[in-house]
Amino acid sequence: MPVNEEFKPTIVAFCCNWCSYAGADLSGTNRLQYPANVKIIRIPCSCRLNPMFVLRAFQRGADGVILCGCHPGDCHYTTGNYYARRRMTLLFSMLDFLGIERERTRVEWVSAAEGAKFAATMNDFSATIHKLGPNRRLEDLRCRKD
Amino acid sequence: MQRVGVFVCWCGSNIAATVDVEKVAEVLAKEPGVVFSTNYQYMCSQAGQEMIQESIAKYNLTGVVICSCSPRMHENTFRKTCEKAGLNPYMVEIANIREQCSWIHKDKETATEKAVILGRAAIAKVHLNAPLTSGTSPVKKRALVIGGGIAGIQTALDIADAGFDVDIVEKEPTIGGKMTQIDKTFPTLDCAACILTPKMVDAAQNEKIHIYSYSEVSSVKGFVGNFKVTIKKKARYVDETKCTGCGLCTEKCPQKKVPNAFNLGLDNRRAIYIPFAQAVPKVATIDADYCTMLKSGKCGVCSKVCTAGAIDYTQKDAFIEQEYGAIVVATGFNPIKLDQYDEFAYSQSPDVVTSLEFERLMNAAGPTGGTLLRPSDGQHPHTIVFVQCVGSRCDDSKGKPYCSKICCMYTAKHAMLCREKYPDTDVYVFYIDVRTPGKNFDEFYRRAVEEYGVHYVKGMVGKVVPENGKLKVQASDLIGNQQLHIDADMVVLAAAIEPDKSARPLATMLTASMDTNDFFTEAHPKLRPVESPTAGIFLSGACQGPKDIPETVAQASAAAAKVIGLLNKDHLVCNPCTAQPDELMCNGCSSCEKVCPYGAITYVDKEFRGPNRTTLLRRVAQVNPAVCQGCGACTVACPSGAMDLKGFSNKQIMAEVDAICR
Ligand SMILES: Cc1cc2nc3c(=O)[nH]c(=O)nc-3n(C[C@H](O)[C@H](O)[C@H](O)COP(=O)(O)OP(=O)(O)OC[C@H]3O[C@@H](n4cnc5c(N)ncnc54)[C@H](O)[C@@H]3O)c2cc1C
Ligand code: FES
């Protein structure tokens, strides 16, 4: 589709400092490619992700939001990712209710050793968003760039 | 608004090859608040750092953004650089344009565009940064070692040697661990007791070491440098200070039918006992499950024969509170239970034993006085079959997926010792692989085969059937490609080893992490092998993974070195990125307290000004910055949004989101 070819999605990836951010670094060290429209924001732990941040991202025109944290049981703060998992389950179903497709949001566990998984996840997620097309649901027109 | 300086690094060609660094610096110069923007070949070099420092002074910068490699790499470097130039180190933000940009993109235009956006996000964040100061917390100069096996003993001795007080908490009545039960040790075949018991005595006599035997850790609070630990001293019904260890009571006690746990139930002991002659501390313990006096109030023989008056039937569990700067976990391992391995007839025949039971049968201080006799009839066995990897390297739920590492070597040892002591015995070892890496280990195994004539057969034993006083062993010989039927007198199973069952609850108490097999995980598998990811908790010995004695001791000393390094400090610098409640918004609901994994949040009643000159007393949250580790769980849990995280505040992250989505 010609429309989709021009479409450059904005994807925000929140990564916990201890595992996933390190995993993202590792995929860099190993020169594993993923699309440039994925932009990473470092947070101390996946449990730092306030649902507000996700809403804000969608309001400002993000097309997809992904949260990466340590594998269950491996959180640097022991239990943070369990909180994150529950909160995101709730948030995502609410977003779904608001018309933001489930595929636009994702939680993925990536360890510091899983550079390849990080790149694969981002490739996959970005392809999914590409297929879905731009997010128009929560986007605040007043925040439009153009 | 800050006066921001932007410094774009080329990282040689690592960044500059795919990102147009000049353009990035140029575009970012137009961002609000940016008063200076430049690029340089190696920002982290001496010259680069000096340039940053000069620019801070020249342009009176209040915030610095460095577009370079990952903050995991050089965040600290640049923080220090700026600190030296008089800027608060937390006014620095890093935009990761190497690992997360130049290295993963090939197209220069896209990469440059992305680098600009990442730079913008960092600028947006730095505008909201606030200077932070790291607090310090004092270090309690005392260490706790949990578990008194060879690992715990070695760690304690080394720490004490450096002049610090150490407490050993051991759950059994004596320290020493598994090594006390072993007969001879590979690869040198010196006797375990001869090398272990002097160390146990050293530990007992060392003024700096205090041993809490028959004790457990019941609660752990606090954090690195300041742990508050409650130790439960279980009632042993004997006054440790009075007991001389003469052992008279253990001979006179009329309750003779207690399975002797030290000999793994191969013989019996009395209800009052000293596990073995060289026990440390050498103090009797009453087994409350079997003592007639404790159960029915009738007996009291031990109290009558004790000339020291040490017996005290009314003794209760005692709880001791102590503060520590560091904690070492040395809880060791146990062989797995073999009840589920019916094919080897372990529960059906007493002549099928585990390797550890075999150690006791060979041990001069064991139930047979060191003569190898069959448990069933006390006869000398002529054919012995050893089975390796029982429960190790297993895919099913019965066993363990990992290699227990020590079994190849101790089985070779057992086989060799049998052949040496009793040259008339036939010894078979069934194996999947023989794994003997280690100094002088392979030589040792080859000696068993070549010099001692042990029959090593590659293959697994399928079934053991007890029949007419013999054990019929059916096995496959994979190399000879045939089925073997051996009439054995004894079968010895090399059971897999697993962490002690008490390790999991202990890990929860310590907030230390474990792998799926319940071995403690290290902070880094290669570079920080003796530290747990939780600050102030260290790992020693087989609790971290299967290990033989040389490896255990090496790790024990390494852990001690880390502890000494920590205890040598008077103060620890705390991470200043901690949670902070806004007291005006907080309504004391306790949501944050519930999610805090460290117990860093408490509540106080504070006076606030109410309407019409009244004062209101309100319950508000307070965060102990020395305890808070800055995960941010509470910031999201807070329903009124009163809690925020310094360094990663709501506004800062939101600003980054805005910059990226712009
Ligand atoms: C059959 C057999 C033969 C072996 N032969 C050899 C050999 O020849 N050469 C060799 O190098 N190695 C040999 N080994 C390995 C050796 O036993 C171990 O390397 C060594 O014992 C590990 O020491 P450790 O201190 O880590 O653990 P352990 O010896 O298991 O000590 C752990 C201690 O901690 C205590 N503990 C556990 N949990 C708690 C708790 N929650 N609170 C308080 N205390 C607790 C336990 O009671 C125990 O005293 C053999 C092992 C087996 C099974
Ligand atoms: S630190 Fe990675 S999820 Fe908590």
Q: Are residues B438 and B493 in the same domain?
A: yes
Give 3-state DSSP helix, strand, coil % of chain A, rounded to 5: 45, 15, 35
Does residue B246 carry a pLDDT above 90? yes
Min distance A41 CA to chain B CA atoms (Å): 7
Strands (E), B517-638: 537-539, 571-573, 579-581, 601-609, 615-623
* Ligand that lies nearest to the alpha carbon of residue A77, given by its number in the listed order: 2
> CA dihedral defined by B501, B504, B507, B512, rounded to 10 degrees?
120
Q: Are residues B283 and B360 in the same domain?
A: no
Q: Are residues B520 and B385 in the same domain?
A: no
Does residue B388 carry a pLDDT above 50? yes
Average pLDDT of span B430-438: 95
Average pLDDT of span B458-469: 94
Report yes or no on B628 lying in a domain: yes
How many domains, in total, are found in chain A?
1
Q: Are residues B471 and B583 in the same domain?
A: no
CB atoms within 10 A of CB B412: 29
pLDDT of residue A146: 54
The answer to whether residues B471 and B490 touch, using CB atoms and an 8 Å cutoff, is yes
Chain A's closest residue to B70, CA to CA, is A25
Report yes or no on A144 lying in a domain: no
Question: Measured between CB atoms, does B100 come within 8 Å of chain A?
Answer: yes
Report yes or no on B310 lying in a domain: no
Report yes or no on A6 lying in a domain: no
Gap between the Cα atoms of B410 and B642, Å rounded: 60
Report yes or no on A145 lying in a domain: no
Average pLDDT of span B340-350: 93
Give the CATH number of the domain where residue B327 resides. Answer: 3.50.50.60
Distances (CA, A) of B211 to B205, B220, B542: 10, 18, 20
Q: What confidence category does residue A1 fall into, taking pLDDT thresholds of 50, 70 and 90?
A: very low
Question: Measured between CB atoms, does B555 come within 8 Å of chain A?
Answer: no
Q: What confidence category does residue A144 fall into, taking pLDDT thresholds of 50, 70 and 90?
A: low
Tokens representing residue B489 in the block? 């007198």
Q: Are residues B338 and B328 in the same domain?
A: no
pLDDT of residue A2: 42
Contact A40 B637 (CB under 8 A): no
Q: What confidence category does residue A3 fall into, taking pLDDT thresholds of 50, 70 and 90?
A: very low
Report yes or no on A139 lying in a domain: no
Does residue B288 carry a pLDDT above 50? yes
Q: Are residues B103 and B49 in the same domain?
A: yes
Report yes or no on B312 lying in a domain: no
Chain B residues in contact with A25 (beta carbon < 8 A): 70, 72, 96, 99-100
The answer to whether residues B229 and B323 touch, using CB atoms and an 8 Å cutoff, is yes
Gap between the Cα atoms of B339 and A31, Å rounded: 50
Q: What confidence category does residue B200 fall into, taking pLDDT thresholds of 50, 70 and 90?
A: very high
Gap between the Cα atoms of A83 and B132, Å rounded: 27
Report yes or no on B418 lying in a domain: yes
Min distance A140 CA to chain B CA atoms (Å): 12
Half-sphere exposure in the Cβ direction for B544 (13 Å, CA): 31
Q: Is B80 exposed, middle or buried (0-12, 13-18, 19+ CB in 10 A)?
A: middle
Distances (CA, A) of B557 to B148, B507, B526, B537: 14, 21, 17, 15
Q: Which residue in this structure is represented by tokens 């010792």? A: B417
Does residue B225 carry a pLDDT above 50? yes
Min distance A99 CA to chain B CA atoms (Å): 20
pLDDT of residue A73: 77
Task: Tell me the backbone φ, ψ of residue B38, rounded to 5 degrees.
Answer: -150, 175
Chain A residues in contact with B600 (beta carbon < 8 A): none
Q: Which residue in this structure is represented by tokens 């992305």? A: B114
Q: What is the pLDDT of residues A104-141, one digit of tens each?
A: 999 999 988 889 999 999 999 999 999 999 988 877 77
Average pLDDT of span A67-90: 90
Q: Which residue in this structure is represented by tokens 């600009």? A: B116
Gap between the Cα atoms of B656 and B94, Å rounded: 12
Tokens representing residue B406 in the block? 């020590």
What mean pLDDT is reported for chain B? 94
Q: Which domain holds residue A97?
A: 11-134
Report yes or no on B239 lying in a domain: no
Q: Are residues B262 and B280 in the same domain?
A: yes
Q: Are residues B432 and B513 in the same domain?
A: no
pLDDT of residue B417: 95
Ligand 2 atom closest to residue A19's alpha carbon, by position in its atom list: 2
Gap between the Cα atoms of B130 and B134, Å rounded: 13
Q: Are residues B592 and B641 in the same domain?
A: yes
Gap between the Cα atoms of B410 and B186, Å rounded: 7
Report yes or no on A109 lying in a domain: yes
φ/ψ bin of B48: left (φ > 0), alpha (ψ from -120 to 50), beta (otherwise): alpha
Question: Measured between CB atoms, does B577 come within 8 Å of chain A?
Answer: yes
Report yes or no on B654 lying in a domain: no
Gap between the Cα atoms of B212 and B152, Å rounded: 12
Gap between the Cα atoms of B482 and A20, Å rounded: 52
How many domains, in total, are found in chain B?
5
Tokens representing residue B119 in the block? 């730079």
Residues with CB under 6 Å of ligand 2 are A 16, 18-19, 45-46, 69-70, 75-77, 80-81
Q: Which residue lies with its CA nearest to atom 4 of ligand 1?
A: B410
The interface residues of chain B toward chain A in range 106-145, judged by CB-CB distance below 8 A, are 106-107, 110-111, 113-114, 117-118, 121
Report yes or no on B574 lying in a domain: no
The answer to whether residues B457 and B475 touch, using CB atoms and an 8 Å cutoff, is yes
Contact A48 B657 (CB under 8 A): no
Contact B645 A79 (CB under 8 A): no
Chain B residues in contact with A76 (beta carbon < 8 A): 533, 631
Chain A residues in contact with B661 (beta carbon < 8 A): 10, 12, 57, 60-62, 143
The answer to whether residues B240 and B284 touch, using CB atoms and an 8 Å cutoff, is no
The alpha carbon of A69 and the centre of ligand 2 are apart by a number of angstroms equal to: 5
Q: What confidence category does residue B46 fall into, taking pLDDT thresholds of 50, 70 and 90?
A: very high
* Ligand that lies nearest to the alpha carbon of residue B154, given by its number in the listed order: 1
- Of the ranges B218-227, B448-457, B531-540, which is most confident? B448-457
> CA dihedral defined by B533, B537, B540, B543, rounded to 10 degrees?
-70
Q: Are residues B370 and B481 in the same domain?
A: yes
Q: What is the pLDDT of residues B475-487, one digit of tens each?
A: 999 999 999 999 9
Report yes or no on A68 lying in a domain: yes
Q: What confidence category does residue B111 fall into, taking pLDDT thresholds of 50, 70 and 90?
A: very high
pLDDT of residue B626: 79
Give the CATH number of the domain where residue A79 resides. Answer: 3.40.50
Q: What is the pLDDT of residues B486-504, one digit of tens each?
A: 999 999 999 999 999 999 9
Q: Are residues B383 and B474 in the same domain?
A: yes
Chain A residues in contact with B110 (beta carbon < 8 A): 36
The answer to whether residues B82 and B92 touch, using CB atoms and an 8 Å cutoff, is yes
The answer to whether residues A140 and A60 touch, using CB atoms and an 8 Å cutoff, is yes
Q: Are residues B468 and B602 in the same domain?
A: no
Q: Which domain holds residue B56?
A: 4-128
Gap between the Cα atoms of B79 and B89, Å rounded: 4
